[in-house]
Structures are given as structure tokens and as C-alpha cells.
């Protein structure tokens, strides 16, 4: 690496279903001393725009985005807002903020926002995606996950999950919801918010780089062990060795796709379609063949590839390479200066919808294990 992206300003996306306490959480965060140098972009959608005033009184650095739902149709507005905000900061027209928080509407699919932050060239020179924070209502969350697929998607792409309104739900309901959230997204820590308050240190700095050490912390970011800790459901056919030097680690999820069904399966449970799993590759892989695999994966299953994080051992370099994808979009790969541990195997963690680990592993073998496969990029 010739330079570190730590100099870019971190951007966090705050999402969650309607009424799950996003604005209450943000209002509490803005008042926290650790968040004094934070700019907020708040999306106005119907009456939710009224909540803006609560946050505005807590901070000078508040921008109200008036274009309706913050999704595909207003990505241009998001780019313009971030660029304008940075220019105002450079000119001294607003206080010199050090972090940006984007609050989405409860109806928003966070993926288009993440795509903008990951891929827009103007944004990429000044800002970096830190992580996604999703609020979940402890009292209503179970029913909302049943009824609303976008709520499940918000949970699936999150780096941090905040459980709100715990005072309204009993212990058994909270335990059940916590297990459900961990099945959808094993790697995201679940943080309880007391009266809408949570420590900023528990929510932010969720990205690849640890600002305290000024270096990448890939094991913390990848959290591969969380997938193993979550285990796999009864009746799941777990394959440890396919004879190709690949290890398929503890896939878990719900519903079909592996020839088994839960007795209590409910077609109304959207998260019965979600699978979270880890694949480990024992041998170094060709970068160009991996890119071919990724392009085919996106072509076939991009809409259902909710999130992919990975650490690759490549044939072309001794250094590890980090990859990060959300649906059809992949972040620019990052080559790290050295390995985070003695384990130099490639590790890929997936969260998918209606796509089994066996399906992805078979596709991976097709590109990485076939010695006769053609690599057009090598010929250029």
C-alpha cells in the first residue's frame, strides 16, 4: 500500500425499520462528547422529516436531504451533498467534522447507498465507508422480520446491530430475537440501547482499518469465527472436504436449498431464505480466475449476494488482498502490507438470499480448480 485510506473521512450508514428508534439513537449519539465533530445527513420521507429538528438542535453539522427516499433515485443528491459538505468544511464554512452519519428512511434498501460510497470516484477520494448500523425494535422486531423483506436485508448487511426498546419486551422474546438476528448475520455484534442511548465506541470504527492502531485489523473486520460459533441447523449436510483443497465451514440458514426443512418453517419468514457461511481455500488462487468467478457470481446471483467479505491468498503476490462486495458492487481490492496471522489461507464469508453455500462453492471450483480453464487476462 502506498497510502492509507485512514485520511479519508469515515461514513456510517444508520438504517432500520420504521419506528425502530434510528432518530432517537442518532439524537442521543449527537449529544455524546465523542460525537462532537460529526456531520449528519438525514433523509426526509413523509413525517419523518419532522424528526430532523430534534437532531438539528443537537448539532450545527446537520444536512437535510429533501429528495424523498434515499435510494437509487437520489444517489446523485447524496454525492452532491457529501461533496458540498466537504467543500464547506475545507472553506471553514462549517466546523471541521471528522465523521459523517447518514440516516436512511425505514423503507430504504441500504445497498444503493453502499454502492455509492464504495464506487463513486468523487466520494472515494475524500470519504470511506466505515460501516452499517441497523436498529431493531426488540418488541416489534420479530413480526417486522416476518412481514418485511427489506428489514431482513438491513440486518443482513449491517456491521453493528442495535436492539432498541428492550424495556418493552420480555427476556424470552429478546433471547429469541437475538438468536434470529445472529442466524441472519453472525458477525455483527448486537448492542443493547438503553433509552435510545448506546456508546459510540461500540457502533463506529467498524471498517477494515483500526484508527487507534493506524493499521488494518482484518480479523476483527472479517470475524470468520462468528460463522463457526453460530453452527449449522440440525439435518444440515456439512462437507468438510470436497477433495479440492477447500473447506466449507459451518453453513447455516433456514428453508430449502440443502434438502432439509425445519418442522416449524413459515413461508412468511423472510429470513428463512437467508444463509450465512464461510468458505476457506487451502491453496493460493489466481487473481484473474477469482475475478472471473466474482463476475459470474454477480451475473447469476448479484441481487441475492447480500454481502461478501474476504481475505485472499493469491499466486501473484505474497501479500494478502482484502475484498468486499455488496450485491452487484465490489469495493476496490486492498493489498495489505502483511498477513494478520500465521494462517495464510483465503477466507470468504457470505450472506446470501436463496443461494446455498454448495451452489457458490461449486461455482468457485469451476473457476479455480480447472487447470484447463482459459484465463483471457493472462494473454493480454
Question: Going from the N-terminus, what domains does the chain have, and what CATH number goes with each?
Answer: 5-207 (3.40.50.300), 221-379 (3.30.1220.10)
pLDDT at 27: 81
10 Å CB burial of residue 7 (0-12, 13-18, 19+) is exposed
Contact 349, 324 (CB under 8 A): no
Q: How far is CA 87 from CA 80, 81, 104, 148, 275, in A?
A: 10, 10, 23, 38, 42
Confidence class for position 121, pLDDT limits 50, 70, 90: confident
pLDDT at 294: 95
Distance in angstroms (rounded) separating the CA atoms of residues 111 and 133: 13
Residues in CB range of 290: below 8 A, 6 or more apart: 312, 314, 367, 368
pLDDT at 88: 86
Confidence class for position 29, pLDDT limits 50, 70, 90: confident
Confidence class for position 89, pLDDT limits 50, 70, 90: confident
Share of the chain above pLDDT 70, in %: 76
* 3-state percent breakdown (helix, strand, coil) of the chain, nearest 5: 40, 25, 35
Q: How many CB atoms lie within 10 A of CB 338?
A: 9
Q: What is the DSSP letter of 285?
A: B
Amino acid at each position: 500500500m502506498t497510502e492509507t485510506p485512514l485520511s479519508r473521512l469515515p461514513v456510517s450508514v444508520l438504517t432500520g425499520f420504521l419506528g425502530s428508534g434510528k432518530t432517537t439513537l442518532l439524537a442521543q449519539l449527537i449529544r455524546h462528547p465523542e460525537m462532537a465533530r460529526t456531520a449528519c445527513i438525514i433523509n426526509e420521507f413523509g413525517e419523518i422529516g419532522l424528526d430532523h429538528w430534534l437532531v438539528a438542535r443537537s448539532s450545527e453539522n446537520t444536512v437535510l436531504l429533501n429528495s424523498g427516499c434515499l435510494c437509487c433515485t437520489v444517489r446523485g443528491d447524496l454525492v452532491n451533498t457529501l461533496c458540498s459538505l466537504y467543500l464547506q468544511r475545507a472553506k471553514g464554512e462549517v466546523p471541521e467534522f471528522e465523521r459523517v452519519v447518514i440516516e436512511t428512511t425505514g423503507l430504504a434498501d441500504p445497498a444503493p447507498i453502499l454502492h455509492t460510497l464504495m464506487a463513486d470516484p468523487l466520494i472515494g477520494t475524500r470519504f470511506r465507508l466505515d460501516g452499517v448500523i441497523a436498529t431493531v425494535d426488540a418488541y416489534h422486531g420479530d413480526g417486522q422480520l416476518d412481514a418485511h423483506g427489506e428489514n431482513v436485508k438491513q440486518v443482513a448487511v449491517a456491521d453493528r446491530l442495535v436492539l432498541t426498546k428492550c424495556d418493552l419486551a420480555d427476556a424470552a422474546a429478546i433471547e429469541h430475537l437475538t438468536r434470529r438476528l445472529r442466524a441472519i448475520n453472525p458477525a455483527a455484534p448486537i448492542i443493547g440501547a438503553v433509552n435510545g442511548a448506546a456508546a459510540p465506541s461500540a457502533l463506529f470504527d467498524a471498517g477494515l482499518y483500526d484508527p487507534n492502531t493506524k493499521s488494518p485489523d482484518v480479523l476483527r473486520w472479517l470475524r470468520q469465527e462468528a460463522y463457526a460459533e453460530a453452527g449449522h441447523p440440525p439435518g444440515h449436510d456439512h462437507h468438510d472436504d470436497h477433495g479440492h483443497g477447500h473447506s466449507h465451514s459451518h453453513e447455516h440458514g433456514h428453508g430449502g436449498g440443502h434438502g432439509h426443512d425445519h418442522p416449524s418453517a413459515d413461508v412468511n419468514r423472510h429470513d428463512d431464505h437467508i444463509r450465512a457461511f464461510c468458505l476457506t481455500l487451502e491453496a493460493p488462487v489466481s487473481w484473474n480466475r477469482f475475478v472471473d468467478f466474482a463476475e459470474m457470481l454477480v451475473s447469476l446471483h448479484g441481487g441475492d449476494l447480500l454481502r461478501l467479505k474476504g481475505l485472499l491468498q493469491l499466486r501473484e503476490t505474497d501479500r494478502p488482498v482484502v475484498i468486499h462486495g455488496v450485491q452487484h458492487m465490489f469495493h476496490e481490492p486492498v493489498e495489505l502490507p502483511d498477513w494478520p496471522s500465521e494462517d495464510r489461507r483465503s477466507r470468504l464469508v457470505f450472506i446470501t438470499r436463496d443461494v446455498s453455500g454448495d451452489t457458490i462453492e461449486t461455482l468457485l471450483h469451476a473457476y479455480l480448480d480447472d487447470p484447463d480453464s482459459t484465463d483471457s487476462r493472462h494473454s493480454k
